[in-house]
């Protein structure tokens, strides 16, 4: 069942790329947060006799819309092998603590998704540094895309034809997409570093 849901989500993602692009002239009431981001990095954490690898990225979000906005983030990682990984799934407190310690100089007030409030206040003084973390992904992957939904309230309803020939309506949301290459030998995972390819906004 879980595998079927992942395949369905991946298929929907592929369909979403054929959807209309986000509006270049948003209608009144449509907002998008300003986003800065660093390069994703990997860390390892040993628990008992096991060592687990994690990847993380920090987003700096600033609300310049002129009003406070609702904030319900939903972040995912997708590989070119069609594996989909929701962020912050099964991530323990020691992992967050280690990442915060590593980044305390640059991001002294780094927040996890669970620590964020459901509104982002307007203005530069209220910007937040937000952490997204994933457990290590498919070692066969040579390319990944990070999707960040919840950074805009722009949506669009599209009809997608199902296998039975019937159309089904889906609500697509303006989503930030960051794409990276992962060259190198996957057997030497610790030495692998992501290479930035592209930043775009998609309806997904």
Which tens digits make up the pLDDT trace of 135-153? Answer: 999 999 999 999 999 999 9
**Structure token pair of residue 162:** 């199902």
Q: What angle do CA 53, 113, 105 make, to 5 degrees?
A: 70
Residues above pLDDT 70, as percent of the chain: 90
Q: 57 and 103 in contact (C-beta within 8 Å)? A: no
Note the pLDDT tens digit of each residue in 42-63.
999 987 788 999 999 999 999 9
The structural domain count of the chain equals: 1
User: Which residue range(s) make up the domain with 35?
Assistant: 2-203
Give the model's pLDDT for residue 6.
44
């Amino acid at each position: 069942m879980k595998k079927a849901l992942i395949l369905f989500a991946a298929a929907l993602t592929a369909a979403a790329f054929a959807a209309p692009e986000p509006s270049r002239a948003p209608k009144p009431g449509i907002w998008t947060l300003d986003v800065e981001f660093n390069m994703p990095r990997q860390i390892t954490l040993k628990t008992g006799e096991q060592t687990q690898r994690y990847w993380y990225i920090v987003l700096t979000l600033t609300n310049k819309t002129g009003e406070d906005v609702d904030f319900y983030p939903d972040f995912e990682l997708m590989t070119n092998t069609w594996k989909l990984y929701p962020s912050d799934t099964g991530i323990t407190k020691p992992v967050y603590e280690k990442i915060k310690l590593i980044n305390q100089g640059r991001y002294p007030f780094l927040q996890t998704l669970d620590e964020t409030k459901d509104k982002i206040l307007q203005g530069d003084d209220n910007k937040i540094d937000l952490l997204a973390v994933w457990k290590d992904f498919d070692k066969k992957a040579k390319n990944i895309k990070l999707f960040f939904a919840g950074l805009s309230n722009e949506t669009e309803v599209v009809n997608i034809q199902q296998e039975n020939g019937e159309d089904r309506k889906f609500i697509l949301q303006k989503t930030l997409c960051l794409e990276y290459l992962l060259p190198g030998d996957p057997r030497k995972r610790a030495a692998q570093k992501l290479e930035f390819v592209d930043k775009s906004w998609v309806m997904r």
